[in-house]
């Protein structure tokens, strides 16, 4: 085997070893905060979702994962089209009016009186024989069991129809628990609060509060005692938001948990006959902090405010979308390697379109005619002859060309310059005097018989041949 083949074998072995190392090495831990109930990564919510039946004391079959918009889940039908009358925008006054109607309807239903309300506030029927299919389809207007709606997102966003339906759901006597760092503006304005980043508001006076961690504590001492700690320590970057109720509506909020600066991170707001719980630290409900002994109590203590034994809806629509309604490229987008390969392929196609898809036909250039290099070739060959300092060969070539010229011009088949009759015919046909013809013949015989020919003799021969040609013409 040659050395080159050994090099190829070595390269092949190195490539195979690299592929094996990349294939079998541990996958790097993903710290992306997805908050999805199917993710077992540190910032997923698989553990909390799995423990919800135990925390809220409900059967596992009554904890539903919702993969439809809030409006579809609560109203039991698809969202109307944009030009539909039901899709018109609502301001805070309209929502407040619906809340009052829902509260009145609830009170009328609980006292046994018949209720005749508008479609915006359907009657409450807390019947015991409602089927599970009705619960899964959403709160239809015919009747429903009360349900707690849970959201654990990085950012909580919803449409106007979703906002209206969610607030109506709370006003009917249900509970809504939302853990997010950023909240929808319309939703926040309606309830009267805002979410503010604590990182953007440093406290230069208190150096102890500018550490890399945040301490969270419940205002209820009983919860602190049950959790076994007075404060829960979380990294400052992961717990960097707190809630600020509007000054004009601060009395409507009940602060349940604060940070070290007594800024609310968990509040409760009464809405109609129900409650809306708002938490600005969704990371506390992730797998990493739910499993840690020093921080797992915060999530369970916060959820303890929700009523037990009630139907639970866990929203995944805002994080995973609808079931089955995914992109055609969902397989490629689901894996990092395939996703990057897709991006590189698209980038390569774009570069090809930019650089290779141009018009290939160009203006036909004007080509210069090829030069006559005969003279150049002759000069080159003559230079080679001159390098030897003996011009005998050059003289023979020139004499041969001259004799060929005489044969074609004077129509002489044979040229024996020693023949007297031939010389006479050459003189008569060319018009050159006989003495000049004899002198030329003698010079030609000298050049052919001389062993060495100098530069002067070659020039004299060349001049004599050219003079004879001009005399012939």
In a domain, 11, yes or no: no
Are residue 338 and residue 421 in the same domain, yes or no? no
Least confident of 53-62, 89-98, 146-155, 293-302: 89-98
Looking up residue 103, the CATH number of its domain turns out to be 3.40.50
Are residue 199 and residue 287 in the same domain, yes or no? yes
Number of domains in the chain: 3
SS3 call for 347: helix
Residue 300 pLDDT exceeds 50: yes
Are residue 249 and residue 390 in the same domain, yes or no? no
- Give the residue with greater pLDDT, 13 vs 202: 13
- Position 104 scores a pLDDT of 47
Residue 193 pLDDT exceeds 80: yes
- Give the residue with greater pLDDT, 303 vs 368: 303
In a domain, 12, yes or no: no
Are residue 285 and residue 420 in the same domain, yes or no? no
- Position 327 scores a pLDDT of 66
In a domain, 363, yes or no: no
Residue 74: φ, ψ to 5°: -85, -35
In a domain, 38, yes or no: no
- For 27, 151, 299, the CA distances from 47, given in Å and listed in that order, are 21, 15, 11
Are residue 462 and residue 338 in the same domain, yes or no? no
Are residue 320 and residue 350 in the same domain, yes or no? no
SS3 call for 217: strand
**Measured distance CA(295)–CA(218) in Å, rounded:** 13
Section 139-158 average pLDDT: 78
Q: How confident is the model at residue 95 (pLDDT cuts 50, 70, 90)?
A: very low
Residue 227 pLDDT exceeds 90: no
Domain boundary among 285, 302, 325: 325
Q: How confident is the model at residue 81 (pLDDT cuts 50, 70, 90)?
A: low
In a domain, 22, yes or no: no
Section 446-456 average pLDDT: 85
In a domain, 25, yes or no: no
In a domain, 339, yes or no: yes
The torsion angle over the Cα atoms of residues 378, 384, 388 and 390, rounded to 10 degrees, is -10
Are residue 255 and residue 379 in the same domain, yes or no? no
- For 159, 192, 413, the CA distances from 185, given in Å and listed in that order, are 10, 10, 115
- Position 199 scores a pLDDT of 65
SS3 for 74-131 is HHCCCCCCCCCHHHCCCCHHHHHHHHHHHHHHHHHHHCCCCCCCCCCCCCCCCCCCCC
Give the chain's mean pLDDT.
80
In a domain, 1, yes or no: no
- Of the candidates 40, 65, 38, the one whose C-alpha atom is nearest the C-alpha of residue 291 is 40
Least confident of 182-196, 220-234, 377-391, 395-409: 377-391
- Position 79 scores a pLDDT of 67
Strands 311-315 and 147-152: parallel
Whole-structure pTM value: 0.59
In which domain, by residue range, is 337 found?
Answer: 329-356
Are residue 207 and residue 273 in the same domain, yes or no? yes
Are residue 293 and residue 312 in the same domain, yes or no? yes
SS3 call for 43: coil
Are residue 286 and residue 409 in the same domain, yes or no? no
Are residue 313 and residue 338 in the same domain, yes or no? no
Q: How confident is the model at residue 361 (pLDDT cuts 50, 70, 90)?
A: low
- Position 271 scores a pLDDT of 93
Kindly give, in sequence order, each residue whose CB lies less than 8 Å from that of residue 184, ignoring residues fewer than 6 positions away: 156, 157, 158, 163
- Position 388 scores a pLDDT of 65
- Position 97 scores a pLDDT of 46
Are residue 429 and residue 461 in the same domain, yes or no? yes
- Position 288 scores a pLDDT of 94
- For 61, 151, 165, 323, the CA distances from 67, given in Å and listed in that order, are 16, 12, 16, 6
């Amino acid at each position: 085997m040659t050395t080159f083949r050994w090099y190829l074998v070595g390269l092949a072995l190195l490539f195979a070893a690299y592929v094996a190392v990349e294939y079998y090495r541990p996958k790097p831990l993903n710290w992306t905060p997805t908050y999805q109930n199917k993710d077992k990564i540190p910032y997923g919510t698989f553990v909390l979702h799995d423990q919800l039946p135990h925390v809220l004391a409900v059967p596992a079959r009554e904890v539903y994962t919702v993969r439809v918009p809030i409006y579809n889940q609560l109203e039991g039908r698809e969202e109307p089209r944009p030009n539909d009358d039901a899709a018109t925008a609502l301001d805070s006054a309209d929502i407040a009016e619906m809340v009052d109607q829902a509260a009145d309807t609830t009170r009328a239903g609980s006292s046994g009186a018949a209720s005749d309300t508008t479609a915006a506030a359907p009657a409450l029927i807390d019947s015991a024989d409602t089927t599970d299919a009705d619960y899964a389809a959403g709160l239809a207007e015919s009747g429903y069991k009360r349900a707690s709606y849970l959201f654990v997102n990085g950012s909580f966003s919803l449409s106007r129809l979703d906002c209206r339906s969610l607030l109506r759901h709370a006003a009917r006597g249900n509970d809504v628990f939302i853990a997010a760092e950023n909240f929808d503006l319309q939703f926040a304005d309606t309830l009267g609060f805002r979410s503010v980043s604590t990182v953007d508001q440093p406290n230069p006076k208190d150096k102890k509060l500018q550490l890399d961690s945040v301490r969270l504590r419940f205002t209820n001492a009983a919860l602190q005692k049950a959790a076994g700690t007075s404060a829960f320590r979380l990294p400052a970057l992961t717990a960097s938001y707190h809630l600020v109720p509007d000054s004009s509506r601060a009395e409507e909020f009940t602060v349940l948990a604060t940070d070290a600066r007594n800024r609310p991170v968990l509040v409760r707001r009464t809405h109609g006959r129900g409650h809306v719980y708002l938490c600005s630290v969704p990371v506390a409900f992730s797998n990493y902090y739910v499993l840690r002994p020093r921080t797992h109590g915060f999530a369970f203590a916060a959820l303890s405010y929700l009523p037990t034994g009630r139907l639970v809806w866990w929203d995944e629509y805002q994080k995973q979308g609808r079931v089955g309604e995914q992109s055609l490229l969902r397989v490629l987008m689901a894996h990092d390697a395939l996703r990057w390969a897709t991006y590189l392929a698209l980038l390569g196609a774009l570069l090809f379109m930019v650089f290779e898809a141009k018009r290939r036909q160009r203006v036909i250039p004007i080509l210069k005619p090829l030069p006559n290099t005969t003279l150049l070739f002759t000069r080159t060959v003559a230079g080679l002859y001159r390098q030897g300092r003996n011009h005998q060969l050059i003289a023979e070539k020139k004499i041969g060309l001259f004799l060929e010229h005489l044969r074609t011009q004077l129509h002489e088949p044979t040229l024996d310059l020693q023949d007297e009759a031939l010389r006479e015919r050459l003189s008569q046909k060319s018009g050159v005097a006989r003495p000049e013809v004899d002198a030329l013949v003698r010079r030609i015989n000298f050049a052919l018989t001389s062993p060495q020919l100098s530069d002067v003799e070659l020039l004299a021969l060349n001049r004599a041949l050219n003079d004879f040609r001009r005399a012939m013409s």
